[in-house]
Amino acid sequence: MKCNIISQRIQLQEYLLVEESTITKKIEETLQDEEGVKLIDRAGAEGMFDGWLSGYNHALTQPTEYFRKHPTNDYELVCNALS
């Protein structure tokens, strides 16, 4: 079973909702520290995102060739069972 790209985005959003309190706390801590704010540049922001997503990176399932040949924006399509 392989997932549609839209369902992957939904799965990522659900993961981030579960982690919302942790992410919010880290952002607030960074913004309260003047030195921390000064360190936020592109690389710093990417590092923050990498940290938030570290538990999720391996959960991504790449769409099969089937979805590349038959693109869809059907947000209700979660997966397609292939025999």
3-61 pLDDT, tens digit per residue, is 566 767 778 888 899 999 999 998 898 888 887 777 788 888 898 888 888 887 555 55
- Which pLDDT score, from 0 to 100, does residue 81 have? 63
Do residues 23 and 52 touch, judged by C-beta distance below 8 A?
A: yes
Phi/psi zone of residue 82: left (φ > 0), alpha (ψ -120 to 50 degrees), beta?
beta
pTM: 0.56
Residue 2, pLDDT > 80, answer no
The mean per-residue pLDDT over the stretch 57-70 comes to: 64
Do residues 30 and 36 touch, judged by C-beta distance below 8 A?
A: yes
- C-alpha distances in angstroms, 56 versus 4, 12, 48, 59, 69? 17, 8, 14, 5, 27
Is residue 72 very low, low, confident or very high in pLDDT (cuts 50, 70, 90)? confident
Distant-in-sequence, close-in-space partners of 56: CB < 8 Å, separation ≥ 6: 12, 15
